[in-house]
Amino acid sequence: MAKLILVLGDQLSPALSSLRDVQPQDRVLMAEVASEASYTPHHKQKIVLIFSAMRHFAAVLQQQGIQVSYIDYQQKVSSLTEAVAIELRRHPQLQQICITECGEYRLEQEIQSWQSQFQRPVVQLEDDRFIASKAMFRHWAQDRKQYRMEYFYREMRRYTGLLMQDGLPVGGQWNFDASNRKALSAKQQLPPVLRFEPDEITQQVIALVQQQFATNMGNAEQFSYAVTGKQARQAFLHFVEHQLPLFGDYQDAMQLDEPHLFHSICSMYLNCGLLDVRWVCQKVELAYKEGKVPLNAAEGFIRQLIGWREFVRGLYWLLMPEYKERNFLQAQTPLPGYYWTAQTKMRCMQQAISHTIEHAYSHHIQRLMVTGNFALLAGLSVEQVCNWYLAVYADAYEWVELPNTLGMALFADEGVLASKPYAASGKYIQRMSNYCKSCAYDVAETTSPNACPFNALYWNFLERNQALLSGNARMQLSYQNWYRKSDEERAQISDKARQLLIHLEQL
């Protein structure tokens, strides 16, 4: 039976399950469709990455003798459903639709309608590029009162054997996160950034995106990311050699005008399929075994992949679609305009957002403890914040973005993902960066006219959510510090916070 094999823009892997048994009579369909490119206002460089990587991947498949039908954006196909319909009209001999399970719930619902619509069996294969299948995660989660990444991570270490010896973790402990919180010294030399010159295919995509997505965030002409598996592997090996040795120490650090520091920037390649998570982790483990990187760096990096990445995917599919509607703290304040422009006097926010605008990237601490923390403290709309993160980052697909934003950053899931809100005053940002030294606001002040907005908003966050959060064991110290303040001081802080929230757009 001849099959139509649909390969999505985040499935650009030669080992994709739907491609393993491709036969000469089968056809692969890849399509740049309007609904996927515009369901959220994606960053221009995100669209360039996906479209260019798709075109390069299609060329590789064709070189292997596989029949490929490629629908580019200028053909104005509105949806994947329309693309499939067009292909089946052209090739009525294709009697089965085959696809590797997709990464977003809304798209899965669309795919489920195809069998009745096209009167053909639709076979959805497991996406075994991930280490934990959906069934494996459901089994782990079954009967648990709480889902905690740390315990899932330990199971994944045992399952993969990564950094394990005789059934025990190398180094005698599972987690070296306490060693990974150093602030960056001004004297610390930063490694070189690897960039890729756009080839002819990418140049064509850049021109298309500049024209068709002119109002979206970013500048497509600044694009310099990998667009092939070979380039992505080269980029990752560059990270292992130049950045990974100090990644552990400085993974939580932030530095003025330095968006990359010791981070790999590989999540965008992993999430669209150009890199394989097993290969990546094996390279990191090998670097540790060869004495090229310390254990805290290797463990910290591997934990982000087989721990957090696999964990949030499992939770997403376990809890959707209800999960997306959660708003435990009833956060509804509209997203300020500077999330799109970086036009704010808050230096930390200006840095994190400007890096996002320029690169479709900012590292995880900027996302969690700057833009995410501010959104949490200010009570910004969960829906709008989640849509922003999904739109502006090149590695953002809903399965990974939604739990990290709604759960980790905004605590909107009532602690399903994180055991406490990641709320912090300006002191955290001061400790982990040099942003505050050049800020218009004074991080040492809370209620004065030029006080750091994070400070009063932090205490206000505790006060307004007291009924919901004061019973959280991990929040007890914070509330004790709040109760220790005099009535007058609390009143001054509350008044300052109200003024900040009234004038949020002007900060």
Find the CATH number of the domain harbouring 470.
1.10.579.10
Cα distance between residue 483 and residue 50, in whole Å: 51
Check whether residue 56 and residue 166 sit in a common domain: no
Check whether residue 467 and residue 414 sit in a common domain: yes
Check whether residue 383 and residue 483 sit in a common domain: yes
Whether 281 is covered by a domain: the verdict is yes
Establish how many alpha carbons lie within 13 A of residue 30's alpha carbon, considering only the half-sphere containing its beta carbon. Answer: 26
Query: Distance between the two ends of the chain, CA-based, in angstroms?
Result: 62
Q: With contact defined as beta carbons under 8 Å apart, do 376 and 409 qualify?
A: yes
Q: With contact defined as beta carbons under 8 Å apart, do 300 and 177 qualify?
A: yes
Which residues is 98 bridged to in the sheet? 5, 123
Last residue of a domain, one of 125, 146, 176: 125
Tens place of pLDDT per residue across the chain (507 aa):
899 999 999 999 999 999 999 999 999 999 999 999 999 999 999 999 999 999 999 999 999 999 999 999 999 999 999 999 999 999 999 999 999 999 999 999 999 999 999 999 999 999 999 999 999 999 999 988 889 999 999 999 999 999 999 899 999 989 887 766 777 777 888 888 899 999 999 999 999 999 999 999 999 999 999 999 999 999 999 999 999 998 888 888 899 888 888 888 899 999 999 999 999 999 999 999 999 999 999 999 999 999 999 999 999 999 999 999 999 999 999 999 999 999 999 999 999 999 999 999 999 899 999 999 999 999 999 999 999 999 999 999 999 999 999 999 999 999 999 999 999 999 999 999 999 999 999 999 999 999 999 999 999 999 999 999 988 989 999 999 999 999 999 999 999 999 999 999 999
Cα distance between residue 288 and residue 295, in whole Å: 6
Whether 231 is covered by a domain: the verdict is no
pLDDT at 379: 97
Assign residue 289 the CATH number of its domain: 1.25.40.80
What's 81-145 look like in SS3?
HHHHHHHHHHCCCCCEEEEECCCCHHHHHHHHCHHHHHCCCEEEECCCCCCCCHHHHHHHHCCCC
Q: How many domains does the chain have?
A: 3
Check whether residue 111 and residue 140 sit in a common domain: no
pLDDT at 367: 94
Q: 293-317 burial string, b = 16+ CB within 10 Å, else e?
A: bbbbbbbbbbbbbbbbbbbbbbbbb
Whether 485 is covered by a domain: the verdict is yes
Check whether residue 57 and residue 147 sit in a common domain: no
Last residue of a domain, one of 319, 353, 385: 319
Check whether residue 43 and residue 91 sit in a common domain: yes
Q: Give the torsion through C-alpha atoms of 370, 374, 380, 384, to 10 deg.
A: -10
Whether 332 is covered by a domain: the verdict is no
Check whether residue 425 and residue 442 sit in a common domain: yes
Which residues is 27 bridged to in the sheet? 4, 67
Residues 6+ apart with CB under 8 A from 337: 343, 505
pTM for this entry: 0.94
Candidates 179, 282, 303; CA nearest to 240 is 282
Candidates 190, 171, 104, 154; CA nearest to 363 is 190
Whether 34 is covered by a domain: the verdict is yes
CA-based radius of gyration for the chain? 24
Check whether residue 300 and residue 412 sit in a common domain: no
Last residue of a domain, one of 84, 104, 125: 125
Give the residue numbers spanning the domain of 487. 338-506
Check whether residue 252 and residue 168 sit in a common domain: yes
The secondary structure element, H or E, covering residue 342 is none
Whether 237 is covered by a domain: the verdict is no
Whether 202 is covered by a domain: the verdict is no
Check whether residue 451 and residue 406 sit in a common domain: yes
Whether 221 is covered by a domain: the verdict is no
